[in-house]
Structure 1
Amino acid sequence: MRLLMLSLVLCVCATDLRAQEQTLFSLENQTGGFGAPVVKFTSVNGQTAIMAGGRGGWVFDHSFSIGGGGYGVVSEVDAASNILPIEGPLDIEFGCLGLELEYFFDPASLTHYTVSAFVGVGATNFVKDVGSVFESNQQTGETAFMFLLEPGVHAELNLAKTFRLNAGVSYRLAMGTDQVGLDDSNFSGFSASLELKIGTF
């Protein structure tokens, strides 16, 4: 009888210990993921620029996501006329790719706030200006790379169970730019973004 009672006590204790076990990332906390087209209004080389791209994330416990994103300038950004010893005007191309983290405050509310961080790499090069931005594809010179860090704050609206509209403001900090006639200040600056998230949250 004593052996039976001891076995029961040990089983109860073991069950209680298993119930108390917690982990930061567990399958039970995983709730889904999302993808989103993104448009950003920013500044490149002191000129207003439009960046388009997309991002996606894996959502944990309805409140935190980790994923990646990529963006590129789709508007024309002029380079200085004497930046390279060639004839004709030049445009600046700029794009980036990296890791994205986001935390959602009170995500079940109709409107709520999020904070985000983009950590990645940017690339820039010159192209001959032969027309629209979609025609300017003749690269001149070398491609240069830089490290990018971009924290941001956002307001988010739950349109439906699987749709969220997100508008935000962020600051892009460029470091290590090594391009002819350009430096970190040409690629650092504020951005205003608009995105439509589609997925399960």
Structure 2
Amino acid sequence: MKKRLLLFTLLLSAAAMNVAQAQANETIFRNTGIRKSGGYAALSSKFTKINGSYANMSELYGGWFINRRLMIGVEGAATTNFIPVPLVNQTYPGNKMTYMYGQFGLMTEYVVASTKKVHFNVNLLTGSGFTLQYDRREFDDWDFDDWDEYDDDENANFFFVIEPGVQVEFNLLKWMRFSPGVSYRQTFNAKGNGLSDKDLSNISYNLTLKFGFF
């Protein structure tokens, strides 16, 4: 009787250890581990306003895509069109002075139901923004002897920026997605070039193509 009780106890202990080990493996290695990862790059055209004027921004971002949910990477963007500088705010008086706005920093993106044909994601940029002024004359009008008069280091103004956003995502191909969306840009402590946080903070609309391993 004692031998049977001892054998039963040993078998019960072994079963309990196996169950505990299985549960530990499921928690540590299956539920919270990295099961699948890839990466992608995004090309985006953004439409917004700077100082009350229409602004088009070209944006590039991308990074590591973890478990088909979370992308961690970097972003950079800058305006491409003419944004007039009022005469009173011109650092270097010229015929066609324009503002340039740019930003760069950490980009995170969380994708919901990534394998579905149509789904959505939320993203967040945190980093630095900058503004500067330059003379947007035609190439034939440039006098390159006067180029040294424009000191970009003295002209540039840097500040903190965050930009949360949301996108609807369409899986066109296994390696390409189309993601139109909207975001809101908020700057902090922008003071240079006649531009304040109120002049720079605004809503943006974007059309985005993504390429990579999803």
User: Structure 2 length as normaliser, TM-score?
Assistant: 0.81
How many equivalent residue pairs?
197
> Paired residue for 1:182?
195
Whole-Å Cα distance in 1 between the matches of residues 92 and 205 of structure 2?
A: 35
The root-mean-square deviation of aligned C-alpha atoms, in Å, is 2.5
Deviation readout 1:165-184 (Å, 9 max, x if unpaired): 01001111111102042111
Does 1:39 find its partner at 2:52?
A: no
Instruction: State, as a whole percentage, how many aligned pairs show the same letter.
Output: 29
Structure with greater proportional helix content: 2
Whole-Å Cα distance in 2 between the matches of residues 25 and 69 of structure 1?
A: 27
In the TM superposition, residue 139 of structure 1 has moved relative to its aligned partner by 4.5
Q: 5+ unaligned residues in a row in structure 2: which ranges?
A: 1-5
Whole-Å Cα distance in 2 between the matches of residues 172 and 25 of structure 1?
A: 33
Deviation readout 1:69-115 (Å, 9 max, x if unpaired): 10011111111112146532421111100111222222222111111
Whole-Å Cα distance in 1 between the matches of residues 13 and 208 of structure 2?
A: 57
Which one of the candidate residues 178, 184, 202 is aligned to 1:171? 184
Q: Do the aligned partners of 1:36 and 1:55 also contact (CA within 8 Å) in 2?
A: yes
SS at match of 2:22: helix
Q: Do the aligned partners of 1:128 and 1:139 also contact (CA within 8 Å) in 2?
A: no
Structure 1 pair 33/77, CA: closer, same or farther in 2 (3 Å)? same
> Paired residue for 2:168?
155
> Paired residue for 1:95?
102
Which one of the candidate residues 5, 12, 15 is aligned to 2:18? 12
Which one of the candidate residues 69, 74, 88 is aligned to 2:75? 69
Which one of the candidate residues 142, 150, 158 is aligned to 1:145? 158
Bigger Rg, which one: 2
Whole-Å Cα distance in 2 between the matches of residues 35 and 86 of structure 1?
A: 37
Which one of the candidate residues 57, 78, 81 is aligned to 2:84? 78
Whole-Å Cα distance in 2 between the matches of residues 180 and 130 of structure 1?
A: 19
Structure 1 pair 85/56, CA: closer, same or farther in 2 (3 Å)? closer
Structure 1 pair 139/51, CA: closer, same or farther in 2 (3 Å)? farther
Does 1:129 find its partner at 2:142?
A: no
Which one of the candidate residues 109, 134, 139 is aligned to 2:116? 109
Whole-Å Cα distance in 1 between the matches of residues 134 and 91 of structure 2?
A: 13
Q: 5+ unaligned residues in a row in structure 1: which ranges?
A: none
Q: Do the aligned partners of 2:180 and 2:208 also contact (CA within 8 Å) in 1?
A: yes
